[in-house]
């Protein structure tokens, strides 16, 4: 009889899970942030950017995008994540560890704002914007 003491999710066929190739755990702290958290985080960030845009720029579309980008570029190096990331319990970290730095949030955000790189994912559920920037979204 097999023991059921493990609290991790059932692995996909072949024993693989998003983040395994990166040395990340299957679930829990520092595991890959799943799509639901990512969507919720970006929705929070977009709502904040929309509110600021409405208050100061008459909710002009380009202004909203610029505010969104600035919030990302400022918050990621300072807090390891945007306000939306922090609210849903995820962080942006460099693959090699350490501080995310100044250039990674800029590259990541520019590609995120273009949208297409953000919806192209690899087997580890990393968007192209994260791959180019050398970052990954993980749970805290």
User: Has residue 96 been placed in a domain?
Assistant: yes
Total count of domains within the chain: 1
pTM (predicted TM-score): 0.85
pLDDT at 66: 97
User: Has residue 86 been placed in a domain?
Assistant: yes
At residue 4, does pLDDT exceed 50?
no
At residue 10, does pLDDT exceed 60?
no
d(CA 35, CA 116): 16
Mean pLDDT of 11-28: 82
User: Has residue 23 been placed in a domain?
Assistant: no
**Per-residue pLDDT reduced to its tens digit, 36-92:** 999 999 999 999 999 999 999 998 889 999 999 999 999 999 999 999 999 999 999
**Per-residue pLDDT reduced to its tens digit, 113-138:** 999 999 999 999 999 999 999 999 99
pLDDT at 13: 54
At residue 25, does pLDDT exceed 70?
yes
Give the domain range for residue 32. 28-139
Q: What share of the chain is helix, strand, coil (3-state, %, to 5)?
A: 50, 10, 35
User: Has residue 4 been placed in a domain?
Assistant: no
């Amino acid at each position: 009889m097999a023991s059921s003491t493990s609290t991790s999710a059932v692995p996909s066929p072949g024993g693989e899970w998003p983040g395994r190739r990166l040395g990340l755990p299957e679930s829990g702290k520092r595991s890959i942030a799943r799509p639901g958290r990512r969507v919720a985080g970006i929705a929070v960030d977009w709502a904040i950017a929309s509110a600021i845009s409405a208050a100061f720029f008459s909710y002009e579309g380009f202004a909203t995008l610029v505010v969104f980008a600035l919030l990302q570029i400022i918050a990621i190096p300072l807090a390891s994540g945007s306000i939306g990331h922090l609210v849903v319990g995820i962080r942006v970290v460099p693959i090699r560890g350490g501080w995310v730095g100044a250039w990674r949030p800029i590259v990541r955000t520019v590609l995120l704002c273009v949208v297409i790189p953000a919806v192209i994912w690899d087997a580890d559920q990393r968007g192209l914007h994260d791959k180019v920037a050398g970052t990954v979204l993980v749970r805290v």
